[in-house]
């Protein structure tokens, strides 16, 4: 009798065992048949039984009982019923597991880790997939460490079905470790010494695949090349084996031009344009120019950065930068405790020119340096700053004129021209992985700088800053963001008791140039408060203390919700930090250029706890909200 098809049921086993039985060739062919006869089903019974038994062996079941029942349909419109009744029996266990590493590389940590994690010790159920997978990993590990001739000298499983035991024997000989041979580059318009900076190894060093990966990554990150391809040529007959590298490089376009517009609640509308020259000459020098303007404070800047390779490491450079910045910067008289304006502000403008030069050293720390290690960047720099400030109005309001007449000690502070030469060092340590919502890791920044009055400087100070950002993934949908900043400056301050009628104000102004003053508040600092609105009388301060905690929960493919608490302030007196607190909720939308972050925050220490909207683009793990910009790439 012919019927339309076959309905197959498998009883007695579940999950992976049932799936493996169901995928046996005989059953798959039956499922695909449009018409099936009784003769064909009966002729396949033994084949189905044997294939089902074979499908159970990878899971340690070598003596199953399998019945194949065929139920004929009552009409040709119905399907045949094929039922497999399986009693898998007792799983076969490993009696002995003789796993041995021999040869010069037997003590290599990664190989020893593989040995320690062998999944089938004595007493374990013999799972063939686990055996095959673990066995296949070892030669790849050995090859990545340079043991290109490593091989199994013994590889077998002896099965005794009478007592349901198996004996495993795997002996692996690493043989000699390969060495790096020659590195050959294609023709590129760069001096040989520029390319020789990139390998973190020399001819004759022990081979490691991770060092080749790192070389590929360093070349790609250099900015010189659009494509990087590395081919390995192995001479396995040599003693020890030698691996030569052939590096094929394609130069990127020499010039890149960029322009963009944006908006932030701290900056208002903004515009930026840039010109990058990635290869200025055959020595590998690079030069960039930038221009930017934003609505807030009517600020604009011009900037240029220059890099020149130095030394024998791809992360070592000489650098120089120059910038010109102009912005409206009102001289304000705010009560630091209440946040209220006591006297009318004086319109001011600040123009600064900054030149910086120094050394950069970048290195990687830790295992698997090309992918997982920490990146440490050190900078040693000398900066020249000229800052001109003018807040004296040519046509002051009557109340402003009265304030100046009543407090003549203010007048010298309204027009200043400061020159400062600073020397310093900074350390930036980061380990950041993942992308989108899954980005996580740590970044820390430490900087110390200072100036000495009389040595091309109008004031003396020493300043230290430490910032830390840390993102922790709790699971696929939850993460926590922690950050903090601590800044301290040993510098003078001018303290005045200002009076006008029945109004008075304890006024404190640091002697620091504005470029080195700390200010808090805003999108990337203490949310709920205005941009750089937290400092002594809103004119900048010597010290800084902030801390932020944020919880973020993913609610869609690219969307998440956040709740946060920010606290901190900028101040001149460590005995009276007057910390401010902001709390709020936010929405995140993850894009290719980073998350778009929309926050609604309340300033709990301001009268009425006003609400403020904050909009930013980019992950906070890459930024430090209160760190003054000093120039340099």
Q: How far apart are CA 90 and CA 85, in angstroms?
A: 16
Q: How confident is residue 633, by pLDDT bands cut at 50, 70 and 90?
A: very low
Residue 350, SS3 per DSSP: strand
Given a contact cutoff of 8 angstroms between Cβ atoms, the answer to whether 182 and 199 are in contact is: no
Whole-number average pLDDT of the chain? 90
User: In what helix (H) or strand (E) does residue 616 lie, and over which residues does it extend?
Assistant: strand 611-617
Residues of the chain with CATH 3.10.20.310: 2-87, 93-173, 179-251
Q: Give the whole-number percent of the chain exceeding pLDDT 70.
A: 97
Least confident of 91-100, 319-328, 527-536, 617-626: 617-626
Within 13 Å of residue 511, how many CA atoms lie on the same side as its CB? 19
Mean per-residue pLDDT for 462-486? 96
CATH dotted code for 255-365+387-622: 2.40.160.50
Task: Select from 509, 574, 499, 578 the least CA-distant residue to 537.
Answer: 509
Q: How confident is residue 78, by pLDDT bands cut at 50, 70 and 90?
A: confident
Q: Give the whole-number percent of the chain exceeding pLDDT 90.
A: 67
CATH of 179-251 among 3.10.20.310, 3.40.190.10, 3.30.420.10, 3.40.50.1450? 3.10.20.310
Per the CATH hierarchy, to which homologous superfamily does domain 2-87 belong? membrane protein fhac (3.10.20.310)
Q: Is the pLDDT at 370 greater than 70, yes or no?
A: no
Mean per-residue pLDDT for 302-324? 93
Q: How far apart are CA 298 and CA 8, in angstroms?
A: 76
Residue 302, SS3 per DSSP: strand
Q: How confident is residue 627, by pLDDT bands cut at 50, 70 and 90?
A: low
Q: How far apart are CA 525 and CA 467, in angstroms?
A: 12
pLDDT at 528: 95
Residue 96: strand pairing partners = 167
List pLDDT tens digits, range 143-192. Answer: 999 999 999 999 999 988 888 899 999 999 999 999 999 999 988 999 99
Residues of the chain with CATH 2.40.160.50: 255-365+387-622
Q: Is the pLDDT at 367 greater than 60, yes or no?
A: no
pLDDT at 73: 84
- Backbone φ/ψ region at 594: left (φ over 0), alpha (ψ -120 to 50), beta: left
Q: How far apart are CA 117 and CA 138, in angstroms?
A: 11
CATH of 93-173 among 3.40.640.10, 2.60.40.10, 3.10.20.310, 3.90.600.10? 3.10.20.310
List pLDDT tens digits, range 269-290. Answer: 889 999 999 999 999 999 999 9
Task: Select from 587, 617, 583 the least CA-distant residue to 601.
Answer: 583
Q: How far apart are CA 601 and CA 587, in angstroms?
A: 12
Q: How far apart are CA 571 and CA 485, in angstroms?
A: 13
Q: Is the pLDDT at 135 greater than 50, yes or no?
A: yes
Residue 288: strand pairing partners = 276, 305
Q: How far apart are CA 580 and CA 338, in angstroms?
A: 11
Q: How far apart are CA 525 and CA 189, in angstroms?
A: 45
Residue 183: strand pairing partners = 245
Within 13 Å of residue 190, how many CA atoms lie on the same side as its CB? 28
Q: How far apart are CA 554 and CA 476, in angstroms?
A: 8
Helices (H), 498-552: none
Secondary structure of 139-187 as H, E, C letters: HHHHHHCCCCCCEEEEEEEEEECCCCEEEEEEEEECCCCCEEEEEEECC
Q: Is the peptide bond before 240 cis (omega within 30 degrees of 0)?
A: yes
DSSP state string for 388-449: EEE---SS--HHHHHHHHH-GGGHHHHEEEEEEEEEEEEEEEEEEE--GGG-EEEEEEEEEE
Mean per-residue pLDDT for 496-509? 90
Sign of CA dihedral 368, 374, 375, 380: negative
């Amino acid at each position: 009798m012919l019927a339309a098809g076959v309905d197959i049921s498998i009883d007695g086993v579940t999950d992976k065992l049932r799936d493996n039985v169901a995928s046996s060739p005989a059953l798959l062919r039956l499922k695909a048949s449009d018409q099936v006869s009784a003769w064909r089903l009966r002729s396949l019974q033994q084949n189905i039984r044997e294939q089902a038994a074979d499908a159970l062996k990878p899971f340690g079941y070598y003596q199953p009982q399998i019945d194949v029942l065929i139920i004929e349909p009552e009409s040709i419109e119905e399907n045949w019923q094929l039922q497999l009744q399986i009693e898998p029996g007792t799983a076969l266990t490993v009696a002995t597991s003789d796993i041995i590493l021999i040869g010069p590389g037997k003590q290599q940590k990664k190989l020893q880790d593989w040995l320690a994690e062998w999944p089938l010790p004595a007493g374990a159920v013999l799972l063939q997939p686990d055996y095959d997978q673990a066995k296949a990993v070892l030669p790849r590990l050995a090859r990545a460490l340079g043991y290109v001739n490593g091989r199994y000298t013994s590889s077998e499983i002896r099965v005794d079905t009478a007592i349901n035991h198996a004996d495993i024997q795997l002996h692996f000989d690493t043989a000699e470790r390969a060495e790096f041979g020659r590195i050959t580059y294609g023709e590129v318009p760069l001096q040989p010494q520029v390319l020789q900076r990139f390998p973190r190894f020399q001819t004759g060093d022990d081979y490691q695949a991770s060092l080749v990966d790192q070389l590929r990554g360093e070349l790609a990150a250099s900015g010189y090349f659009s494509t990087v391809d590395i081919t390995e040529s192995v001479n396995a007959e040599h003693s020890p084996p030698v691996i030569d590298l052939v590096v094929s490089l394609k130069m990127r376009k020499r010039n890149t031009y960029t322009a963009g517009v944006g908006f932030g609640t701290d900056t208002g509308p903004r515009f930026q344009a840039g010109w990058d020259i990635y290869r200025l000459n055959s020595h590998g020098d690079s030069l960039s120019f930038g221009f930017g303007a934003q609505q807030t404070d009517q600020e604009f800047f011009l900037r240029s950065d220059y890099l020149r390779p130095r030394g024998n490491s791809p992360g070592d450079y000489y650098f120089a930068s120059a910038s010109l910045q102009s912005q409206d910067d009102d001289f304000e008289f705010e009560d630091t405790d209440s946040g209220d304006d006591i006297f009318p502000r004086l319109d001011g403008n600040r123009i600064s020119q900054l030149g910086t030069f120094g050394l950069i050293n970048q290195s990687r720390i830790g295992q698997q340096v090309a992918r997982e290690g920490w990146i440490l960047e050190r900078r040693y720099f000398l900066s020249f700053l000229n800052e001109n400030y003018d807040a004296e109005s040519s046509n002051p309001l009557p109340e402003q004129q009265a304030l100046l007449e009543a407090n003549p000690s203010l007048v010298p502070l309204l027009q200043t021209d400061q020159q400062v030469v600073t020397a310093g060092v900074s350390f930036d340590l980061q380990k950041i992985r993942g992308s989108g919502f899954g980005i996580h890791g740590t970044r820390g920044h430490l900087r110390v700088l200072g100036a000495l009055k009389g040595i091309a400087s109008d004031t003396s100070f020493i300043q230290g800053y430490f910032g830390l950002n840390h993102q922790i993934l709790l699971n696929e949908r939850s993460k926590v963001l922690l950050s903090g900043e601590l800044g301290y400056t040993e510098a003078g301050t001018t303290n005045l008791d200002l009076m006008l009628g029945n109004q008075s104000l304890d006024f404190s102004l640091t002697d620091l140039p504005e470029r080195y003053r700390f200010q808090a508040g805003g999108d990337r600092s203490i949310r709920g408060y205005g941009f750089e609105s937290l400092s002594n009388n809103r004119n900048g301060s010597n010290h800084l203390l902030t801390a932020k905690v944020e919880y973020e929960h993913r609610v869609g493919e690219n969307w998440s919700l956040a709740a946060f608490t920010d606290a901190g302030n900028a101040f001149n007196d460590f005995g009276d930090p007057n910390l401010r607190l902001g709390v709020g909720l936010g929405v995140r939308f993850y894009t290719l250029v980073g998350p778009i972050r929309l926050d609604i925050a309340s300033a709990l220490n301001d009268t009425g706890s006003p609400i403020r909207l904050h909009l930013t683009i980019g992950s906070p793990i890459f930024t430090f909200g209160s760190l003054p910009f000093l120039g340099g790439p």
